[in-house]
Structure 1
Amino acid sequence: YFDHKKGADREDRLGPDRAVALGWVKPKSMLIATLISLGLSCIVGLFLIQYGGWELIFVGLAIAVFALAYSAGPYPLAYHGLGDVCVLLFYGVVPVVFTYYVQANTFTVGALLAGLGLGFVAINILVVNNYRDYDADKLSNKQTTIVKYGKAFGLAFYIFNALAGMLFFIAVTELYDVYAILAYSLAFIWIALFILVYRKLTSLEGKALNAVLASTAKMVFLFAVLLSVLIVFCKQ
């Protein structure tokens, strides 16, 4: 809804279909649905208080505020090059650390490392999205990091995030005393698949990059699965 109102989502967009941009749903209806969904999410989240304490209300409020502030308000974060930071925090650190906290009632370095690793890898979904929409974002003055620093930066950023994710992957390996052959075998599998996806990113353009977007999302899921396997089969 908010991207459509700002002119960032048009009928000629290269990404997956957007209901409002294509006229399938009226803007007002989408806004109402968005607020209802956000409200229901907050209500469901209240049930976690019995496990994690009233402090979780502040976490829930922060998530709700940033969900809206990402593309709404007087200073939409996605339009000022801060979308990547939001992904790192709210697709990585916050969900991992606080999911662990709700179940164990404690914070650990391991949960933080795992959250950072997942967060950096998840940023690449946004990188592909912004790389594909580079020209359209420039026209709508959406100052993503790739609009600010160029498409070459986007390709380098994609590699950086993967390497950062792997560094935290190895850090978790060391922290939990995982069998080395298992850890490095899983890391090799992920890196090999990442290289294949990266080659597609550098060779495709326009709507064809939607396939890379999907593959990148799958790489994030695979990273989470492999990280879970590491922790389950640690020596401790």
Structure 2
Amino acid sequence: MSPTPRPTVVLVHGAFADASGYARVIPELTAAGLEVVAPAVPNRGLVDDAAYISSVIRAVDGPVVLVGHSYGGAVITVAGAEENVRALVYLAGYALEEGESLGELQGRFPDSGLADALRYTPFPVVGSEDPGTDVSVAVDRFPELFAADVEPGLAAVLAVSQRPLAARAFSEAASVAAWRTKPSWGLVAGADRTINPEVERYGYRRAGMTTVEVDSSHLVMLARPMAVAELILEAVRSTGA
């Protein structure tokens, strides 16, 4: 019998960030002998972003463990339905139900401190007279809300290098909930001030995930990289690789 191939880990970032947020996790995964792909998510809306990440997954020759942080959790909920995805890992993320939007899930719980720190900026939409709306976080509020336990110098850099999220991402519904058919793990960031941790706990519990909780800000990959890497490795081990 041939050995089970080791999965490639695909790391999906969230809103107001980019793939560099995984900079401290990637070395731990590669040191464990894993192939890693960390694409740049367009952050243009759940439908388009999930389609893009699905194309990334289909380009991987072999099984995939799919990881999503924050809004990236909503993205992997849809893209995780791809046939070669073997497991899902949510990091301080949104685990949507089929037909549910971010706004609907989040609206069941009190707002985090993020709500009054959001800034809205129009951007041109090719072929349309109506502009889109980009959502970002006020630069002076970003460190305290997103990265309270990350080095201040790094948090300041992250604050001015945000990748905004198109506002429509909050209202687009998940077309499928991949956690219904794929084994899933969830990490709750207990000191999260970006997403109410109760949103994370609720979504994970509803999905029946294996769940861990760490005392961390929203950017748990930078604040607690070893805890994140170990959870991903647990998901990898579950595939039999």
TM-score, normalization: structure 1?
Answer: 0.28
Structure showing greater radius of gyration is 1
Q: Taking structure 2 as the reference length, what is the TM-score of the superposition?
A: 0.27
Q: Which one has the bigger strand percentage?
A: 2
| More helix as a share of residues | 1
